[in-house]
């Protein structure tokens, strides 16, 4: 019997962006699948409903791969349906599975077991921020979170700035939302006036804010990104 397919199903980045986040094909597909591996069951069920799920959710099988269950997850159980020929969906808490996301471990295991992996079109905050920045979209690196310790973080910002200037390469990174303003302050303190900074905040939301300008202009303004999901880009 042939194996099933692991479908990588993107989830909206914000609560009010469902209609802009899925395609008619996705709506069709979710009504053929009754088994999912999910990072957040509540988010997954909400999105499936928004995307047009017609079957009762009580019929769904959801395997929990959230941070509290990950270390003790039954990975073999996750793949039983796939190995038996069933298609299964993989869903993150937000955005695209496997991109800055622990779902990449599931994808790697699927490849290891010879299971077909099919990524679906959907929102990636990293790519959306890069698209909107006006920075180099052919050479870029996403670094995830910067160090928390102040000295190490300052050194990392200086290093990223030097690489951006030397290689003409866009540097992307994120911070815990409640520390966004502190990170911005640090970048403005450390960075050179001509360095370009883009902050893409609340992407796809009604109050989406994308600001891309040199640091010497940033220093003239007053910005507040506190507790708002944001991506920072240096070029």
Of 11-20, 110-119, 210-219, the range with the lowest mean pLDDT is 11-20
72 has pLDDT over 90: no
**β-bridge partners, 197:** 213, 234
The more confidently predicted of residues 23 and 73 is 23
Tell me: pLDDT of 70 over 90. no
- pTM, two decimal places: 0.91
Mean of the pLDDT values across residues 18-28? 89
Q: What is the DSSP letter of 136?
A: -
**Residue 21 or residue 157, greater confidence:** 157
- Cβ contacts of 174 within 8 Å, gap of 6 or more: 100, 144, 145, 230, 231, 232
Percent of the chain with pLDDT over 70: 98
Specify the range with the lowest mean pLDDT, choosing from 91-100, 132-141, 211-220: 91-100
Phi, psi (degrees; rounded to nearest 5) at 113: -90, 0
Tell me, what's the pLDDT at 160? 98
pLDDT, position 71 = 67
pLDDT at residue 14 greater than cutoff 80: yes
User: What pLDDT shows up at residue 22?
Assistant: 86
The per-residue pLDDT for 206 is 92
Q: What is the CA radius of gyration of the chain?
A: 20
Q: What is the pLDDT of residue 163?
A: 98
Does residue 28 have a pLDDT over 90?
yes
What digits encode the pLDDT tens for the residues 139-154? 999 999 999 999 999 9
For residue 107 the two structure tokens come to: 């994808």
Q: Work out the average pLDDT over 95-117.
A: 94
* Residue closest to 65 by CA, chosen among 86, 49, 88: 88
Is 80 exceeded by the pLDDT of residue 66?
no
pLDDT at 67 over 80: no
Q: What is the mean pLDDT of the chain?
A: 94
Compute the distance between CA of residue 164 and CA of residue 230 in angstroms, rounded to an integer.
20
Instruction: Calculate helix-pair angle for 103-112, 75-83, nearest 10 degrees.
Output: 50
Number of C-beta neighbours around residue 16 at 10 A: 11
């Amino acid at each position: 019997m042939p194996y099933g397919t692991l479908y990588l199903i993107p989830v909206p980045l914000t609560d009010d962006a469902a209609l802009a986040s899925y395609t008619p094909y996705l709506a069709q597909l979710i009504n053929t699948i009754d088994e999912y591996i999910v990072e957040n069951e509540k988010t997954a069920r909400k999105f499936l409903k928004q995307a047009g799920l017609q079957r009762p959710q009580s019929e769904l099988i959801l395997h929990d791969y959230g941070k509290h269950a990950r270390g003790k997850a039954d990975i073999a159980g996750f793949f039983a349906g796939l190995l038996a020929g069933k298609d299964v969906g993989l869903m993150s808490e937000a955005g695209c599975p496997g991109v800055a996301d622990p779902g990449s471990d599931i994808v790697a295991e699927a490849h290891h077991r010879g299971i077909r992996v099919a990524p679906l079109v959907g929102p990636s905050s990293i790519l959306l921020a890069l698209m909107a920045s006006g920075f180099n979209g052919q050479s870029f690196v996403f670094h995830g979170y910067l160090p928390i310790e102040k000295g190490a973080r300052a050194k990392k910002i200086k290093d990223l700035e030097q690489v951006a200037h030397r290689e003409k390469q866009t540097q992307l990174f994120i911070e815990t939302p409640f520390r966004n303003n502190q990170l911005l302050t640090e970048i403005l303190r450390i960075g050179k006036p001509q360095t370009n900074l883009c902050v893409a905040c609340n992407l796809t939301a009604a109050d989406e804010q994308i600001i891309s300008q040199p640091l010497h202009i940033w220093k003239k303004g007053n910005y507040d990104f506190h507790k708002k999901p944001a991506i920072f880009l240096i070029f």
